[in-house]
Amino acid sequence: MRRADLTDAAYQAALSDWEHERPAAPLPALFRHRALDAFTRAPPWAPYLLAGPLLAVSLYLGLQDPWDGLAALGAFSCGALIWSLLEYLLHRFFFHARVTSETGRIAVFLAHGHHHATPMDRMRLVAPPLQMTSALLLLFGICDLAFDGGALWFAFAGSIAAYLAYEWIHHAIHHGREGLGLLRAVRRHHLAHHHVDARSRWGISSPLWDLIFRTARR
C-alpha cells in the first residue's frame, strides 16, 4: 500500500499510537481514491445480507446427511465456540499486533485501528465484505479440519450464527441503549477496552476467553 493512497489524517493516525492518542478530527475517508475507500466501509445490515443465506444453506446441507438432534446441537455449539475463540485471537494478536515498521502500523490501523480512532462511525463498525469473507473462509477451513459430513455443516452454521451474533452485539454496544443484564455487562467490558485499557479485554461478544486466559485486566 502506497502512503500516497492514504488521506493525510489516516496516515498520521496510523503512525501515532492510536490506542491511546486518538486523533481529534474524524476520519471521513481512509483513502484518497473512492474505489479503495469503499472497501473499508459497510452498512450495519451488510453481514446479515451476505452471511445470512450462507447460514441457511449450511443448515440445509447438514440436514441432508443422517443426523440426530443431539449430535447436530453439539456440532452447532462447537462451531459457535470456534468463532468465539477466533474472535478473541484475531482481536488480540492480529488487530492489536505490536508492530514498529511504518507498513505494519498502517496495516494494523487499516484492519482495526480506525475503529479505535472513530468508534462511533457506523459505516466502519461491521466487517467490510472482503474482511468478512476472509473470516468465513478461515472458519470453514477450521470446521473442515475438525468435522466431516453433516457435522461439518452444522458446525459451520454454528460459527456463522455466532459471527452474526458478534456483529449484532458489537453494534448494540456502540449504538444501542444502555441495556440490562448480560448485554450491559458485555458493553462495560468492551467499552473498558476502548476507554480504559486497550491492551486487555480482547473478547467483544463475550468475556469468556478473557476469563480463561486471564486478560480481563492488564
How does pLDDT run across 10-30, given as a tens digit for each residue?
Answer: 888 888 877 666 665 667 789
Instruction: Tell me which residue of 215, 187, 211, 212 sits closest to 92, measured CA to CA.
Output: 215
The pLDDT value given to residue 15: 86
Between 129-146 and 46-64, two packed helices, what is the crossing angle to 10 degrees?
Answer: 20
- In angstroms, the CA 110 to CA 89 distance is 18
Q: What is residue 166's three-state secondary structure?
A: helix
Which CB contacts under 8 angstroms, 24+ apart, belong to 53-61? 54/136, 54/160, 55/157, 55/160, 55/161, 55/164, 58/153, 58/154, 58/156, 58/157, 58/160, 59/153, 59/154, 59/157, 61/150, 61/153
Highest mean pLDDT: which range of 4-8, 34-38, 153-157: 153-157
Instruction: Tell me which residue of 151, 166, 121 sits closest to 22, measured CA to CA.
Output: 121
Place of cell 476507554: 195
Instruction: Tell me which residue of 217, 187, 208, 192 sits closest to 88, measured CA to CA.
Output: 208
Q: State if pTM tops 0.95.
A: no
The pLDDT value given to residue 26: 66
Give φ, ψ of 168 to 5 degrees: -65, -45
- 128 neighbors 152 (Cβ within 8 angstroms): no
Q: Say how many C-beta atoms besides its own lie within 10 A of residue 135's C-beta.
A: 18
Q: What is the mean pLDDT of the chain?
A: 91
